[in-house]
Amino acid sequence: MALTFLDREHTVAGPGYSRWLIPPAALAVHLSIGQAYATSVYKNALVAHFDTSLTAIGIIFSIAIVMLGVSAAILGTWVDRVGPRKAMFASACFWASGFLVGALGIGTNQLWLVYLGYGFIGGIGLGIGYISPVSTLIKWFPDRPGLATGMAIMGFGGGALIASPLSSQLLGFYDSGFNPTDPTTVASGDAVMKLFVTLAVIYFLVMMLGVFNVRVPAPGWKPPNFDPAKITTKKMITANNVSAKNAVKTPQFWLLWTVLFCNVTAGIGILEQASPMIQDFFRGGDGVSAVAAAAGAGFVGLLSIFNMAGRFVWSSTSDYIGRKPMYAIYLGGGIILYFLLATFGNTATALFVLLAAIILSFYGGGFATVPAYLRDLFGTYQVGAIHGRLLTAWSAAGVAGPLIINGFLDAQGTPGELVASDYRLALYTMVAVLAVGFVANLLIKPVSDRFHESAGHTDAFLEAHDAESGGQVVSGRSS
Amino acid sequence: MTGRVAVAWTVVGVPLVCGIYNIIVRTAPLFGG
């Protein structure tokens, strides 16, 4: 078969293969699926095209995030078994197909097809694409798991950074009546449809770069000068392993689930509404915003920079200060920042942007640090599958975050006429959500011994066995 | 191998850097620039 090059057996790295080829492969995939964060650029165009509410259009994004979590949870073990190359290829197919079916829905004026395409099918592409390079990078960088997961997941945060301005320009290109710099114009549905088709082609090609470059390390491989004994001397880092089946029975898993849910709910509310939000915060009494639509789109991109940078910087920092203190900073700092944003955010554009940017850096950091937190608590045995199950928290937050924001805003007025005070109640609600997450993080302790696997059942044992027997790959072995 | 690493990083890095530059330019008015 022509596609056998996708199999795991054909992706084992040979001697001398540089592990620094894996981060760009991961970035090619995550930068593509990170487009999910740029939906606010054409959100108002879809509201006008389908003549519906913000909430109805927000559901497209919510379905995609739900499917991300569901597919990551269900397909986590499949991704580990078939390897990152086949998983990335499948992700590219789903992601591009999602855009094409979504375009069909816009072209035929059927919103349910957009739900099915971008939301359901594209969401599966998101889930598979999200987890495949993460577990692979953890294996390539056992000496710096926070750095590794930060590198993998930072691309997802940076996707909008490219997609947001690109989408604005393409909408202007496809609709001569739409001016990205003029807030009074809205792109036509036809332009959004053509945008979806264009993005499908571009992202499929970019994701193929990841497919061709990614490799898994050979069994028994470790970085030069790496001593595994050094990393297990800290209290919150276990030397044992917990299976995915047992992990979901532990209070630690559900406390961490709550932590991720709260952190994501708070951040996603701002992200999903970013472009209209900054315009509404600085809308004058005459109904005209001091912030142009183009600057609003730029603001989405600026948040992406901080979202992306937070993933890399904070996750790498957690390698030094520990995961639990890092999450205390994300959630405790978030409480203060959200309160300041709600209360004083409309006094100066620079203050609004600064507060939102730091909030988004914590949001991104929360995502990137979670796999390393899981590795610390449950070991490396089935960390990919456990990570997939934990991402259901993201799905739940993908519903809760936009519902909170859009629910409050729909009750307050019409899009394009909202002002800063209309957001206040929603943002104070986010402060309460973050407080719940802060307490949940404080309650996390090391996992009880009764959940630990015996050494003979873990990958660490199997890989050591492989190395002793000549490093042969055990075909079909799952993790 | 070094060349391949450089090419791989360039392919994903250039759009990323262009995107960052573009965003900074477009958001300058937010800070009065």
The mean pLDDT of A385-397, rounded to a whole number, is 87
Given CB atoms, is B9 within the 8 Å cutoff of chain A? yes
Q: Say whether B26 and A165 touch across the interface (CB within 8 A).
A: yes
- Residue A304 pLDDT exceeds 80: no
Given CB atoms, is A292 within the 8 Å cutoff of chain B? yes
CATH code for the part of the protein at A244-451: 1.20.1250.20
Residue B4's DSSP bridge partners are: none
> Of residues B24 and A98, which shows the higher confidence score?
A98
Residue A216's DSSP bridge partners are: A12
Nearest CA in chain A to B6: A21
What distances in angstroms separate CA A441 from CA A44, A125, A331, B18, one per listed residue?
Answer: 37, 30, 9, 38
What is d(CA A194, CA A99) in angstroms, rounded to the nearest whole number? 10
**Counting one residue from A and one from B, how many pairs have CB atoms under 8 Å apart?**
82
Find chain A residues with C-beta within 8 A of B29's C-beta. 292, 295
Host H or E run for residue A268: helix A251-272
The mean pLDDT of A313-335, rounded to a whole number, is 93
- Residue A255 pLDDT exceeds 90: yes
Domain extent listing, chain A? 18-218, 244-451
Given CB atoms, is B22 within the 8 Å cutoff of chain A? yes
List the single best residue of A17, A18, A29 to mutate versus B (max B Cβ within 10 A). Answer: A18
Chain A window 21-60: which residues touch B at a Cβ cutoff of 8 Å? Answer: 21, 23-25, 27-28, 31
Chain A window 363-392: which residues touch B at a Cβ cutoff of 8 Å? Answer: none
Nearest CA in chain B to A30: B12
Q: What is the pLDDT of residue A211?
A: 93
- Structure-token pair, residue A27: 């970035």
Q: What is the pLDDT of residue A199?
A: 95
Q: Say whether B9 and A350 touch across the interface (CB within 8 A).
A: no
CA A299 to mean position of chain CA atoms: 19
Residue A12's DSSP bridge partners are: A216
- Residue A473 pLDDT exceeds 50: no
What distances in angstroms separate CA A237 from CA A176, A231, A372, A385, A461, one per listed residue?
Answer: 57, 7, 10, 19, 18
For A3-56, what is each residue's pLDDT tens digit? 777 887 788 888 888 889 998 999 999 999 989 878 878 888 898 888 888 888
Q: What is the pLDDT of residue A477?
A: 28
Tokens 């620039």 -> residue: B33
Percentage above 90 pLDDT, chain A? 33
- Structure-token pair, residue A276: 């209209």
Mean pLDDT of chain A: 84
Superfamily in which the A18-218 domain is placed by CATH: MFS general substrate transporter like domains (1.20.1250.20)
Same fold, A18-218 and A244-451: yes
What is the distance between the terminal CA atoms of chain B, rounded to a whole angstrom? 43
How close, in Å, is residue A446 to chain B by CA atoms? 38
List the single best residue of B5, B7, B12 to mutate versus A (max A Cβ within 10 A). Answer: B12
Q: What is the pTM of this model?
A: 0.79
What is d(CA A203, CA A185) in angstroms, rounded to the nearest whole number? 27
- Residue A466 pLDDT exceeds 60: no
Q: Say whether A21 and B5 touch across the interface (CB within 8 A).
A: yes
For A346-360, what is each residue's pLDDT tens digit? 888 889 989 999 999
How close, in Å, is residue B33 to chain A by CA atoms? 11
Host H or E run for residue A403: helix A392-412
